[in-house]
Amino acid sequence: MIDRLMAIVIVSLSVMLFSCEEANHKKELTDTTQPTQSRSANISQMGGQEEVRKSDTTLSQRSRRPQQVSARTNSISNSRHNAITKAVQEVSPAVVSITVTEVVEGGRRLKFNNYYNRFFSVPVEREVSSMGSGFIISKDGLVVTNQHVANQNAKKVVVSLTNGSQYKAKVLGSDELADLSLLKIQADTTFTAAEFGNSDSVVVGEWSLAVGNPFGLFKASQPSVTVGVVSARNRDFRPDPKEPRVYLNMIQTDAAINRGNSGGPLVNSQGKVIGVNTFIFTGGTSGGNVGLGFAIPSNRVQKIIKQLSSTGEVQLGYDAGFETKQMTYNIAARYDLPAVMGLLVESVNRDGPAFEAGIVPGDIILRIGNERIQSKMHAQALLREYSEGDSMRVELVRNSKRYETKMMLRRKIKE
């Protein structure tokens, strides 16, 4: 009996122990599954956040794209509107095309009379038209151009503006030596004027723009613009020995200057006129541009047009006090003088600067300033560089010896 009771107790204890172990095992299983669920939940939450972040980034990029494109477009637009385009906009309204009609004389050959035509011809007059450029320098319509474009011989002058307007113009004055003319537009209206720059401050290598009417292309539209740099300064030329024109201290540019550009402005990057486009050097028979264009410096232009506007011609503001003639081989042989290029002094005013400087008749003037004299016209051009009160250096030959003296320029003392 006792044995049976002991067996029952042992079985009961075993069952209880098994139940406890099973419960503990379930608890362990429950404890181990909870972290897994938590991690998956965290991963799910993180994945959602990443998706949200990606979505936000995409939306942000999309929202910024139009701004970036707009900024890029503005940058390109700003790069196109640079100093050169602004300079063109500044000066273009003042640039004009000039059409000049002149009356020239010629001979007309008679038909079916070859024998008569060998010795005679019938004089006739005919009108010839030419075109050039210019620019307005005052609100009341003063226009600067070259003398070889428009001069006192012009019968009719028509000025065309960039807005299509056309006006008649009058030649107020011209100077063949300086190759400059001043016109006045015949209209009671206000015009846009160009502004002069300081040609003495021009730097070799800076931008230069030639604006004008090459080949007569500009009639009632925008003028043509070519861009280059200032290639050199202070160039002296006498392009044609048969012509009286002498060009001193010219500005050289590689901006294309072609036929019809004459008289138009040479402009710097600020839109200010630093010269008047005048001629090109082709080096041959070609009339096209080869990279050597020349402009009369603006400071010289302003001096000339100031006199043209007041008197219609250019006069020295002082009296040098001597009369000269150009030296030739015949003169040298006749007076037993050295055959040198220069000016022979014929007479000296006793009340003038030349007499005070010790210059006497028979002297041969070789240089004025630092410039070697090429002709009497050249000397006249050099004398224009001085004003009353200036001291002018003169180099001369007397009795085959060279001397140097200085003249203090002043007005002639009236007797």
Instruction: Characterize the bridge pairing of strands 265-267 and 273-280.
Output: antiparallel
Check residue 373 and report its DSSP letter. Answer: P
- Residue 143, pLDDT > 90, answer yes
Residue 240 pLDDT: 63
Q: Is the dihedral of CA 175, 181, 185, 186 positive or negative?
A: positive
- Catalytic residue annotation: 148, 179, 262
How far, in Å, CA of 178 to CA of 244, rounded?
9
- Whether CATH 2.30.42.10 fits 322-408: yes
Beta bridge partners of 178: none
What Rg, from alpha-carbon coordinates, does the chain have?
45
In Å, how far from its chain's centre is CA 270? 9
Q: Which helix (H) or strand (E) holds 117?
A: helix 114-117
Domain boundaries along the sequence of the chain: 1-80, 90-185, 199-311, 322-408
Second-level CATH architecture of 199-311: Beta Barrel (2.40)
Residue 178 pLDDT: 87
Which range among 162-171, 214-223, 256-265 has the greatest average pLDDT?
162-171
Confidence of residue 376 (pLDDT cuts 50, 70, 90): confident
How far, in Å, CA of 1 to CA of 283, rounded?
147
Q: How do residues 49-96 score in pLDDT, each as one tens digit? A: 444 444 455 544 554 555 555 655 566 556 667 888 899 889 999 999
- Residue 299, pLDDT > 90, answer yes
Nearest Cα neighbor of 225 from 253, 185, 197, 192 is 253
Encoded tokens for 317 = 């503001």
Mean pLDDT of 376-404: 86
Averaged pLDDT score across all residues of the chain: 77
Residues 272-275: contacts with CB under 8 Å, at least 24 apart: 272/194, 272/195, 272/196, 272/197, 273/91, 273/135, 273/194, 273/195, 273/196, 273/197, 273/298, 274/197, 274/198, 274/199, 274/202, 274/208, 274/298, 275/199, 275/250, 275/251, 275/301
Q: How do residues 165-184 score in pLDDT, each as one tens digit? A: 899 999 999 988 889 999 99
Nearest Cα neighbor of 267 from 257, 280, 281, 282 is 257
Nearest Cα neighbor of 298 from 178, 147, 176, 160 is 178
Residue 34 pLDDT: 40
Give domain 90-185's CATH superfamily. Answer: Trypsin-like serine proteases (2.40.10.10)
Q: Is the dihedral of CA 95, 96, 102, 108 positive or negative?
A: positive
Q: Give the residue ranges of DSSP H helices in 124-194.
A: none
Are domains 90-185 and 199-311 of this chain identical in fold?
yes
Assign 3-class secondary structure to 203-252.
CCCCEEEEEECHHHCCCCCCCEEEEEEEEEEEEEECCCCCCCCCEEEEEE
How far, in Å, CA of 154 to CA of 132, rounded?
13
